Amino acid sequence: MNSRNVIVTGAAGFIGSALVRRLLLGDVEQVVSLDALTYAGDRSRLAAVESDPRHRFVEADVTDRVALAGLFAQQRPTTIYHLAAETHVDRSIDGPAAFLHTNTGGTLTLLETARQYFGELDDDERQRFRFVDVSTDEVYGSLTSGAFTERSPFAPRSPYSASKAGADHFADAYFHTYGLPVMITHASNNYGPFQFPEKLLPLALSKAMAGERVPLYGDGSNVRDWLHVDDHADALMAVAERGRPGETYLIGGGNELSNREVLDALLSTLNRLAPGSGDYRDLITLVPDRPGHDFRYAVDSSKITDELGWQPGVAFAKGLEETVRWYLTNQEWIQGVIAGRYELQRLGTAAR
């Protein structure tokens, strides 16, 4: 197992915290959770592991070269999982510079820190070191047919996906130019507990439970492949432990659904678990589409399945019900996130 001594960037985020929790179920020696605690970062996502002596939290930004160098020297990591990023497309439309700074610039800073550290390791340590760059299927653009594969060309269409594509190009370049053992992953849309309520599922749940309109962009026909966050975390660990440096791995859930279908399923589940005065699905309201909205994403995960033995384990219906139950029983967390940080307002209208 390579993931003996681990740094996870973006560890107080939705996916990063899920990865930390999964890592600490295994026999890692230590996990350092690194996060700048921007608006979407929340240490309470790590509450379940805060008392674990193998876990340590460090508040720092991936653009801070001095802080990173000090952490590498102290921690002596064998594995870096890089998840720190600005991730919301609508926010990238309103303010693209922050995405370039964190996603592209932060990745370059982390890669350069890792390169300097890697150059000081002995041969055995070099053999064990891995850098997993965690990206998105959105860098490939919009599909009309078929599915993205590791050979699909990049065609980003939003400031967010452009910033992630830039980061991925740097990660790939650091493997080919410097020999840094980088592996890149591209995952489909994630869902599950602790997701920040600017994203589709928690936003819809929050709106519906408050009796407010549930916005649906365009005509609701845009298609996404849905992946449970725990399945994603397991895939990242498989890449770090068994993946080949220099390779790219696509991670999908095999649940290709339109946004309308997802909201219907989500609110039908809410009808069953927390009946209201009417059908929550009646709150779905079409709103003007997102500028440059990619129509369809679909991911071919056969490479990671065939080479590393990973496949998704959470059925969508089961995962969706568990997600709704979690939000119903964790309203205090939702309200704490909303208060002062995000009031469920529509973002990403600057382009219009």
Annotated catalytic residue: which of 160, 174, 297, 342? 160
Instruction: Verify whether residue 160 is a known catalytic residue.
Output: yes
Instruction: Verify whether residue 138 is a known catalytic residue.
Output: yes
Instruction: Verify whether residue 90 is a known catalytic residue.
Output: no
Annotated catalytic residue: which of 35, 86, 133, 138? 138
Annotated catalytic residue: which of 86, 137, 198, 230? 137
Task: Classify residue 123 by burial, with Cβ atoms within 10 Å: 0-12, 13-18, 19+.
Answer: exposed
Instruction: Provide the annotated active-site residues.
Output: 137-138, 160
